[in-house]
A and B are shown apart, each in its own frame.
Chain A
Amino acid sequence: MNDKLRDLLAWLDDRTAFRTIRHHLLDEPLPPGTGWWFTLGSVLLFGLGVQVVTGIALALFYAPTPDHAWESVRFITTMIPGGHVLRGLHHWGASVVVVAALVHLVRVVFFGSYRKPRELNWIVGLILLQVILAFGLTGYLLPWDQRSYWATVVAINISKLTPLVGESVAALLRGGPDVGALTLTRWYALHVLVLPPTLAGLVVVHLYLMRRQGISGPVKARPGQPQPFFPYQAGRDLLMSIAVGVLLAALAWKGAPPLEPPADPTASDYVPRPEWYFLGLFQLLKYFPGKLEVIGALVLPGIAMTLLALLPWLDRGQSREWRARRTLLSVFTAGLAAVATLTLLGARDKPGSTSTGWNVRELAGAALMASENRCVRCHKPDGLAAPIEAGHVGRPADWLAAHVVDPEVIAPGLREPPEANQRDTAAIVAALARLRAESPPALDPSTAHLHVVVNRTCLGCHLIDGVGGTEGPDLSDVGSKYDLASIERRINNPVDVKPDAEMPAFGGRLTTEEIHAIAAWLAAKK
């Protein structure tokens, strides 16, 4: 049996020379003292491998169109077994790759590994870093949620700052008149068809050049015999990759950050933020107002990259030891510290959360949706339509409004529309918009009813917590002006309190309990 196997391998080797290839690929002699610091490239390769595999798995389900991208990503995370871990791996894997690439770069600088004759490979490495960041940028758009949409709008507008050709660059990146369907297909093609072979080709060149010039090894040559790469250094690479893999799995276990509501070009209160590795650039922009902006967006990063690329020619001494390169390493460390500080400042500069509690109209809408003869008649488990849950509302607002008024439009003959009432409809649409991101707070039945009544009767004329009409006074803090009894009398019959009041009397139109509940609720608003 063993002999047969040996014969087979010999036959194969005769025809493919795989043993020679294996020997050439793996038995490379490494200078003595090559140790853990030289595992970073392999860790990076491992991270890229994870991205390729998880990316292919995601592409099995992903649909790059504005009306389906968000849905398909939600499908991946909620419906596919292990899907949320899959997306988590791809999301956090991107961060692992960026960190590994940066640490690898820092290692190369501190070891002076870019020195002659490795200048060209250093440049290839810098280009690889740009390709990796391009992956991050293009991939960020694909989930097509608010975060991706707005970050991309900003990124494309930054590209307009390019001197002379800015508008053309932006048009090429957009693909269409606005960020939309044509942008999404374009960036998807870049992300899965253009960038991967570019990356693979450059990685091959990087490894080929690394082998051709040999590993630089420790800064000061150590005595001893060279060791073959396999299995000694390969073992270290494996251990480091496993350690990073465990860290990645721990991050991915809870999945990627939850999807935000689907991209909405009209959202006025959305505060876009880039992925963390672009936060430094994001922060830098804030220091260069108006015409100076191009300095923060392109000039400074361009100067930094150019200086990095020129390092092999700026740092040409004999010794690679730190003592001999004190000035250069100090400047480089200061640069690193500046990038880290900008990133931290960018991370800390969080906009005040615009998310507040559900307002009365949204609460009324949620209560209406849950009431028996409304949405839940069809939208229930095993019902005609899927249950309505937070994070599962993907339709645009105009579709929702039409559907709420007349579900028949969507599926004729299946069900009769609920009685239409403009204010109820507005409340349901408001609640659905809110439901894109979060669940409503639980309300007991009487409070739920109270909100429905307030929405129907008060919000027509009064503004409460920013929603409602503007004909009557704003009631958001009415409790600080009047007490419960006074408010109750005003609702019952306004003329009792104020002879020239224009407000209609609600004494006969609402029950005593309803009026009392509304008055108590308003009196608590201070």
Chain B
Amino acid sequence: MNTPGDSRRSALARIVTAGVGLITAGLAGLVGLVATPRASGPTKKWRKAISVLDLVPNAPTSAVVAERHSDGWYETRKQSVIFVDRDGDGYRALSAVCQHLGCRVHWDDGAQQFKCPCHGGIYDREGRVVAGPPPRPLERLNVRVNPKTSDLEVEL
């Protein structure tokens, strides 16, 4: 049997439940907002990689490209490893990041291949996948020679 008191009580119960729900949702939303990383814009620039004179003959030369890097509150230098190689009359620059899971590939001089130590990915000298799990070739970077300094610069 419904009395006016009962329906008032159930209406109030709904209001209180909704209120608690709102507070919970608000707090969860706040945490979600703060915890979601903001997308950073593209920061590609021409950066100095290595002097043309320092290239090793007959093998890709590894070079470290350093850039200032803000990692949240932490100011640091981001260092990326790339491989620079002669390509006909020009140059070829490959990122050393394995396209499988992001480990660092190294050049195996004996096999003339890039090898990833993690899950056995293998690329040829031009960065094409030869074997293993990588889904894509090594990332090819734009490269140019600075005529004043003879430095190879890559867009990174």
CB pair A65 B96 closer than 8 Å: no
- The chain B residue with its CB closest to the CB of A293 is B133
Residue of chain B at shortest CB distance from A183 = B71
Select one of A67, A185, A286 contacting B119, CB under 8 A. A286
Q: Which of A163-204 contact B (CB under 8 A)?
A: 171-172, 174-178, 180-182, 185-186
Please state if A293 and B103 are interface contacts (CB–CB under 8 Å).
no
Given A270-B117, A291-B135, A293-B133, 12 extra CB contacts under 8 A = A171-B39, A175-B37, A178-B71, A180-B74, A181-B72, A186-B35, A267-B104, A271-B118, A288-B133, A289-B134, A293-B135, A396-B77
Contact B133 A154, beta carbon cutoff 8 Å: no
Instruction: Kindly identify which residue among B37, B77, B102 contacts A398, using a CB–CB cutoff of 8 Å.
Output: B77
Find out whether the CB atom of B78 lies under 8 angstroms from the CB atom of A272: no
Contacts between the two chains (Cβ within 8 Å), count = 101
Interchain CA distance A285-B119 in the complex, whole Å: 8
Chain A interface mostly: loop
Given known A153-B103, A270-B117, A271-B117, contact A285–B76 (CB-CB < 8 A): no
Chain A CB within 10 A, most for which of B73, B77, B102, B132: B102
Taken together as a complex, chains A and B put the C-alpha atoms of A66 and B78 apart, in Å, by 13
Q: Which residues of B contact A154 (CB under 8 A)?
A: 101-103, 118
Give the residues in chain B near A67, CB-CB below 8 Å. 74
- For A174, give the chain B residue with the smallest CB separation: B37
Contact of B81 with A268 in the complex, beta carbons under 8 Å:
yes
Which residues of B sit under 8 angstroms from A178, Cβ to Cβ? 71, 78
- Is there contact, CB below 8 Å, between B35 and A66? no
Q: Find out whether the CB atom of A153 lies under 8 angstroms from the CB atom of B37.
A: no
A269 near B40: Cβ-Cβ < 8 Å: no
Known: A291-B135, A293-B135, A470-B56. A269 touches B119 (CB 8 A): no
Q: Would you give the shortest CB distance from A351 to chain B, in whole angstroms?
A: 5
| Cβ–Cβ < 8 Å partners of B73 in chain A | 181
Q: How far is the CB of B97 from chain A (nearest CB, A)?
A: 9
Cβ–Cβ < 8 Å partners of B56 in chain A: 470
Given A172-B36, A175-B37, A181–B74 Cβ distance below 8 Å? yes
Query: CB-nearest residue of chain A relative to B32?
Result: A172
Interface residues of B (CB under 8 A from A): 35-37, 39-40, 56-57, 62, 64, 66, 71-74, 76-81, 96, 100-106, 117-120, 129, 132-135
Once the chains bind, are B74 and A65 in contact (CB under 8 Å)? Answer: yes
With A269-B106, A286-B120, A351-B117 given, is the CB distance from A180 to B101 under 8 Å? no
- For B66, the chain A residues whose CB sits under 8 A away are 398
Q: What's the least CB distance linking B117 to chain A, in Å? A: 4
Q: Which of A442-487 contact B (CB under 8 A)?
A: 470
Interchain residue pairs with CB less than 8 A apart (23): A153-B101, A154-B103, A158-B101, A174-B37, A175-B35, A177-B71, A178-B78, A180-B72, A181-B76, A182-B72, A265-B79, A266-B64, A267-B104, A268-B62, A268-B96, A288-B133, A289-B133, A289-B135, A291-B135, A293-B100, A293-B135, A354-B117, A396-B77
On whether the beta carbons of B37 and A290 are closer than 8 Å, the reply is no
Q: Shortest distance in angstroms between A324's beta carbon and chain B's nearest beta carbon?
A: 43
CA distance A265 to B133 in the complex (A): 22
Which residues on the A side are within 8 Å of B96 (C-beta)? 268
Neighbouring B residues of A291 by C-beta, 8 Å: 135
Beyond A267-B104, A290-B134, A293-B133, whether A470 also contacts B57 by CB under 8 A is yes
How close is B47's CB to chain A, nearest CB, in angstroms? 14
Task: Determine which residue in A174, A272, A289, A470 has the highest number of CB atoms from chain B within 10 A of its CB, and name it.
Answer: A289
Complex Cα spacing A267 to B119, Å: 17
Q: Which 9 pairs between the two chains have the least Cβ-Cβ distance?
A: A181-B74, A180-B71, A271-B117, A289-B133, A157-B101, A182-B72, A181-B71, A266-B79, A157-B102
With CB as the reference atom, state the residue of chain B lying closest to A189: B35
Within 8 A of B (CB), among A272-323: 272, 282, 285-286, 288-291, 293
Q: How far is the CB of A192 from chain B (nearest CB, A)?
A: 16
Contact partner, B40, options A177, A186, A271, A351, Cβ 8 Å: A177
Query: Is A150 at the interface (CB under 8 A from chain B)?
Result: yes
Instruction: Let me know if A286 and B133 touch, CB within 8 A.
Output: yes
**Closest B residue to A273 using CB positions:** B118
Whether A272 and B72, one on each chain, are in contact in the complex, defined by CB atoms closer than 8 angstroms, is no
Q: Which A241-281 residues have C-beta < 8 A from chain B?
A: 265-272
The contact of B102 among A153, A175, A185, A286, by CB within 8 Å, is A153
